[in-house]
Amino acid sequence: MTDSEGRAGMQTDGTRRRPARRPPDRKARIIAAAAELFRSRGYHNVSLADVATDVGITAPALYRHFRGKPDLLLHVVDSTVAAVAASVAAAPDLDTYLRASASETPDRRGSAVLWQREARHLPEDRRKEQRHALNGVAEAIGGLIHEARPELGHADRQLLAWAVLAVYGSVSWHRTSLPRRRFEALLYRLAYAAAHCPLGTGPSHGAAPPPGGYAGLAVSRREEILVEAIRLFDERGFQSVSTDDIGEAAGATGPSIYKHFPTKTDLLVAAVVRGGEQRRAGTARALSAPGTPRETLDRLLRSYVEFAVDQSHLIGLLIGELDQLPEKERKGARQTQREYLGLWVRLLDEVRPGLDPAEARITVSAVLTVIDNAARTGASGDRPDLADRLTEIGSAVLLAQSAADPA
């Protein structure tokens, strides 16, 4: 026996090296890392090994905390919804909630992406639980709005509650930022404008077309396939839908789809092209009529509201599935989105000269998200006056001034 072996054998319990203990917050660190990876890459493009590497552990070590990737996704979504619910539960009144959420939102920018896009990959029973939890959050915010505005009926305060959630959630879908205090002040101002928007005061344009309709388009087999593909891609996610699923929904066999669309990706490309064409048509009409910058902005707002309410599934696809496009089409779609946002920002600058460009982009993104979410929320989507009410809320948020800024 060597001296070193003898010394090792003579070590007491007090000097023998002990196994490293797992940090007490490892589970929370895993959830945080997974949340960011799911948000930035998408659930299907992230492996448990990716998450483990990001945390600095082995994949087998991750299984000590989670049964698999679906279980990890469930914990990620649960934690994000629970954080929002806790903010509402802790607030004694509407203004306290608005200020607290404005302060917390910059630190949880990806939350809305997780529960709107990635939660689609949960089992149906779990998705129902999440929808129930989010509906509970909206009900709680609606209760705070009711205390501040008792004249509102239940449907109106729920619409405003979802609008407030959308304002805060809108930062999940872009990377524009501001210095922390200015960012919080702007978010508070936009959410305040949504929560306090007068409803029923603007001119009525009549009932909007039924959500998801394709008025004026010839109903051919190709069209039926495309419509069902758009719906399924929105509801389940592109990667979770097969051509057999689309064929069954359209009343056709999966192989017959290839007569009209050579690949599933061609369906997605056709859907994105459809969305771009319809939005451009509405935008052209809004810009062609004479009027002041404010009148032009109002028409652009109304055109987008009508597009979103009419094409709710198409909106969902444009929000959540552009990353699934081939590179050329993806770059083109992203560029189109940037140009559309830039148009709004330029018009808003004409209406509100001197507005900081970053503040303008954040404001416009908030308005578009309010409209998108309301058009896709079942309870709100059933309102025959939804387009009128969303136009009022959108205008209030676009024109929100600094009077309500936190001190």
Q: Which of 22-26, 99-103, 241-245, 262-266 has the lowest mean pLDDT?
A: 22-26
Residues 6+ apart with CB under 8 A from 68: 48
Q: pLDDT class for 401, splitting at 50, 70, 90?
A: confident
Per-domain boundaries in the chain: 26-151, 204-400
List pLDDT tens digits, range 9-18.
444 444 454 5
Total-model pTM: 0.85
DSSP string, 269-307: HHHHHHHHHHHHHHHHHHHHS---HHHHHHHHHHHHHHH
Count the alpha carbons within 13 Å of 17 in the hemisphere toward its beta carbon: 3
Apex CA 60: angle with CA 58 and CA 65, to 5°? 100
Check residue 219 and give its pLDDT: 59
Domains 26-151 and 204-400 in one fold: yes
| Mean pLDDT, residues 70-92 taken together | 94
Q: pLDDT class for 133, splitting at 50, 70, 90?
A: very high
Tell me which residue of 402, 403, 401, 377 sits closest to 390, measured CA to CA. 377
- CATH C-level class of 204-400: mainly alpha
| Mean pLDDT, residues 302-326 taken together | 92
How is domain 26-151 classified at the architecture level of CATH?
Answer: Orthogonal Bundle (1.10)
Q: Average pLDDT, whole number, for the chain? A: 87
Check residue 210 and give its pLDDT: 46
The proportion of the chain whose per-residue pLDDT surpasses 90, expressed as a percent, equals: 67
List pLDDT tens digits, range 141-165.
999 999 999 999 999 999 999 999 9
Tell me which residue of 134, 141, 158, 136 sits closest to 93, measured CA to CA. 141
Q: Is 226 exposed, middle or buried (CB count within 10 Å of its CB: 0-12, 13-18, 19+)? A: buried
